[in-house]
Amino acid sequence: MADQDNPYVPNKLQMALLQVFNEAKDDIIEKHPTAWVINGEPIDGDNYHSGGVGTWSPDLNDQVNDFQKLYKTLPQPKHLFLVRGSNYHVMAGKTTPIEEFVAKEMKADRHRAYAGKGFTDFECNIEMNGKNFNFTHHVGFAQWEQYRPTSIARELVKMHFEHGRRGWHTDVTVRSHVHYYVEVRFTHTKGFTTPAWKMPDSFMYRRGIPTIPDVGFMEVIVESNGKVIVEPHIIEVNVKPMRSHI
């Protein structure tokens, strides 16, 4: 049901995404996680450039309510962090970040990278069992698969050379935004981009036929001895494009 009590019937693609959500959720190894990190954009936004086309509801209240409903079905953590994503997706009235309100309402952990006492920021740094994680939403996009490791590798190199000024070495770098999973490892650091919870929309067709996004969760286990295990939980959405037979 939408915020105005208007009934909404999910379409075939949305039902397929929900099925994948439930399958990926069941694949999570740690049933009592220490933390969840929502690395930007818990909602899709009102898509104002397209007049709301491509969203099941342009009402941000509807989208926030559904995000919270789905989150409550996940294994509940001791800590919850929300990172800010693209302003286009998460700004109410183009000025107010929805993520800050969502994080406060959900009693998420407060975090700021440099100053302030808010619940969200564009950067999040977390230490666990001696391993340091760096989260931010954006990273360079590559349309072709063979170039996709380059952007995250560049982030790893940047974090390595910045560790003196930042005060610690970053062991795991996490980025999102690009709707595909790719992982890069060097001797003392690793990084990956996260899958998405979205299928192609009109914006993704602006450069021709888009590749189908990777859909799922990323799970990182940090053992007590500091060993880091990265487990992608990515499941193919069982929906194929339709054809017209003549």
Residue 149: its H or E element: helix 148-166
pTM equals: 0.93
Q: What are phi and psi of 103, to 5 degrees?
A: -65, -40
CATH architecture of 12-234: 4-Layer Sandwich (3.60)
Q: Which residue has the higher pLDDT, 53 or 112?
A: 112
Indicate the domain borders of the chain. 12-234
Assign 205 a pLDDT band (cuts: 50, 70, 90). confident
pLDDT for position 3: 58
pLDDT for position 50: 66
pLDDT for position 1: 53
Secondary structure E strands in the chain: 35-39, 79-83, 91-92, 96-97, 120-121, 124-128, 131-135, 172-175, 182-185, 190-193, 216-222, 228-234
pLDDT tens digits, one per residue of 37-72: 999 999 998 877 666 677 888 888 899 999 999 999
pLDDT for position 143: 86
pLDDT tens digits, one per residue of 133-145: 999 999 999 988 9
